[in-house]
Amino acid sequence: MKNDQSIFASVLPQVPVDLLAVAVGGCQVFLAWTECGACGLGFRIERADGIGPACSFSVIGGVGPHVSAFRDGSVKPRTTYSYRVHAWNASGVTRRPPMWLRGMTTQADTELPDK
């Protein structure tokens, strides 16, 4: 008979839901989501420039279990990005498509006026 830990580890984590992104100025985007289930070891965050099927996603970071937010400080002003969030554990990443957000556009750089 398998112990509870081996059964728990063989189950893929559930896809996070309710992904939200907020652009702050032209230099950062804050992401937040809701974790579903308790068998994940963390989340992998991916970003693509633009929107649509031609987008190529790249991993930009990750967070540990029970962390449901991420700050992307590597964005450019007036640029449109798409984000995906995958849950993962020792068995792999979520089977279903990851939670993703299309078309987050950063604002213009905020600068102080010249005197």
Structural domain contains residue 39: yes
Mean pLDDT of the chain: 82
Structural domain contains residue 28: yes
Structural domain contains residue 110: no
Structural domain contains residue 54: yes
pLDDT digits (tens, 9 = 90+) for 8-38: 557 888 888 899 999 988 899 999 999 887 7
Closest to 45 in 3D by CA, of 54, 32, 36: 32
Measured torsion, CA atoms of residues 35, 91, 9, 47, in degrees rounded to the nearest 10: -20
CA distances from 92 to 4, 7, 65, 101, 105 (A): 18, 14, 14, 22, 31
Full residue range of the structural domain in which residue 62 is found:
4-105
Structural domain contains residue 113: no
Closest to 69 in 3D by CA, of 35, 105, 27: 35
- How far is residue 73 CA from its own chain's centroid? 13
* Mean of pLDDT values over 50-70: 90
Q: What is the CATH number of the domain that holds 71?
A: 2.60.40.10
pLDDT digits (tens, 9 = 90+) for 87-109: 988 888 776 666 677 767 787 76
Structural domain contains residue 111: no
Structural domain contains residue 112: no
Structural domain contains residue 115: no
99 within 8 A of 46, measured Cβ to Cβ:
no
The model's pTM = 0.79
Domains in the chain, number = 1
